[in-house]
Amino acid sequence: MLSIALPKATDRDHSIASKYCYFELISPMASAMACILAPGMPGLQMTQQYIAGELSSLLAELRPAPNETLTDALDTLRREVERGPLARLPRLTRRAMGLTDVICWAALAEGDATGFCRYATGAALLQEFGDSADLLS
């Protein structure tokens, strides 16, 4: 089990989450998400940027998609993740999950078993990340 110390809140920060200085975490990925649960804490912006970057990276691993239309959809979604407001990450993660489903089916329709396995692995990693980052709830 991993413990991290978060900075104590200032007197002007009275959010519920800021009353806690330690989070007991069960996984390394969860440690990166700790600041999301503590609004107003230093490091929150960096942590959300990390999440956006990791989500973009996971989407990049799905390239090239089975066809140009799906590759374009992946690129568009990645741009939205990288440039859009951080508050939209949960919605964009759900869109990414739907897109990976379509990509997997397209690979199967083309008879690309190797591609399907690669896309299904990417979808599983995306699902795990979304769950760990609390983006799919």
> In whole angstroms, what is the distance from residue 127 CA to residue 116 CA?
16
Mark whether 20 and 83 lie in a shared domain: no
Task: Please tell me the pTM assigned to this model.
Answer: 0.67
Check if the beta carbon of residue 97 is closer than 8 Å to that of residue 129.
Answer: no
> In whole angstroms, what is the distance from residue 103 CA to residue 66 CA?
7
Q: What is the pLDDT of residues 78-109, one digit of tens each?
A: 999 999 998 999 999 999 999 999 999 999 99
End-to-end CA distance of the chain: 24
Q: What is the pLDDT of residues 56-67, one digit of tens each?
A: 999 999 999 999
Structural domain boundaries enclosing 65 = 44-132
Mark whether 28 and 48 lie in a shared domain: no
Number of domains in the chain: 2
Is 137 within the bounds of a domain?
no
